Amino acid sequence: MLLADKVCVVTGAASRRGIGRATAKLFALHGGRAIILDLDAEQAQAAASELGEAHRGIACDVTDKDACTAAIEQVVAEFGRIDVLVNNAGITQPLKLMDIGPRNYDAVLDVNLRGTLYMSQAAVPHMRKQRSGSIICMSSVSAQRGGGIFGGPHYSAAKAGALGLAKAMARELGPDNVRVNSITPGLIQTDITGDKLTDELKAEIIKGIPLSRLGNAEDIARACLFLASDLSSYITGATIDVNGGMLIH
Ligand code: NAD
């Protein structure tokens, strides 16, 4: 049991085939108490109850600072602590540079980057008090190679911003024994790609992946488990590529 009795909050974890959901499930399997945050209360609660009675689902829009604070306060009021925060909530838009309007920019930057800041700000005071915690930020290969396949330049910028934010948090929070790390997934088969991932496109993409397959949500969940647990006790400020070799650098 790598996460025995650890209280683990995962944002954007209600989506059925999503990375957050798979992560919450794996955390629960390893003894953790999974708190699923997502936009819709019913969906978040349904996802949590599938995992068992020990787990909770809470509505939280990560772009709303008060909602982030309230969600974490609710967790701490019920369970007394927060050990792990996975900043996973994210959206993408497959736009070209010149098509990005102010609303597109705001939407993508707000969920992926502002949300990571607000949720971390809500959790950090409790982690500091405990003198322990692990924060995991979900970035993307898109941040490293200048575009994935489904994200526009604003998505790359948001995910690169998340990498910088995570590193700065790691530096600032290290003395409090709070670790902060990032994961950069390659192309993972979830609903974020909408219906745009056709069989032909899939075959084309796989040609560029040394492990010869697309990723699945569990591939990312296992990296989250490593970073959440004491297996990674001396790792902070790191970025873990989980991309099948799509980008080797
Ligand atoms: P997904 O669409 O299945 O899940 C995203 C979840 O975030 C959804 O449940 C959605 O409701 C939630 N969400 C959206 N806006 C929110 C908000 N304001 N507040 C709270 N929750 C919100 O997508 P996924 O593929 O599982 O993506 C998870 C993370 O992984 C995202 O940050 C994404 O950018 C990142 N990522 C995904 C891939 C991929 O190929 N799937 C690759 C690299 C990075």
The residue whose CA is least distant from atom 44 of ligand 1 is: 140
Q: Tell how far the Cα of 150 is from the centroid of ligand 1, in angstroms.
A: 12
What is the C-alpha to C-alpha distance for residues 5 and 109, in angstroms, rounded to an integer?
Answer: 34
Write out the H or E segment, with its range, that includes residue 219: helix 217-228
Please count the residues of the chain: 249
Q: Predicted confidence band at 55 (pLDDT cuts at 50, 70, 90)?
A: very high
- 3-state class of 188 per DSSP? strand
- Which amino acid, 33? R
User: In terms of pLDDT, which residue wins out, 193 or 21?
Assistant: 21
If 0-12 CB within 10 Å is exposed, 13-18 middle and 19+ buried, where does residue 145 land? middle
The residue whose CA is least distant from atom 33 of ligand 1 is: 90
Instruction: Domains for the chain: give ranges and CATH numbers.
Output: 7-240 (3.40.50.720)
pLDDT tens per residue across span 138-179: 999 999 999 878 899 999 999 999 999 999 999 999 999 999
User: In terms of pLDDT, which residue wins out, 192 or 115?
Assistant: 115
- Nearest in space to 192 (alpha carbons), one of 83, 90, 87: 90
pLDDT given for residue 149 in this prediction: 81
Q: Tell how far the Cα of 112 is from the centroid of ligand 1, in angstroms.
A: 9
Mean pLDDT over each residue of the chain, to the nearest integer? 97
Q: Report whether pLDDT(195) > 90.
A: no
pLDDT tens per residue across span 68-119: 999 999 999 999 999 999 999 999 999 999 999 999 999 999 999 999 999 9
- Give the nearest ligand 1 atom to 14 CA: 9
Query: For ligand 1, which residues put their CB under 6 angstroms from it?
Result: 11-12, 14-15, 18-20, 38-39, 60-63, 88-92, 111, 115, 138, 140, 185, 187-188, 190-192
> Which of the 8 DSSP states describes residue 243?
S
Q: Tell how far the Cα of 12 is from the centroid of ligand 1, in angstroms.
A: 6
Clarify whether 155 is annotated catalytic.
yes
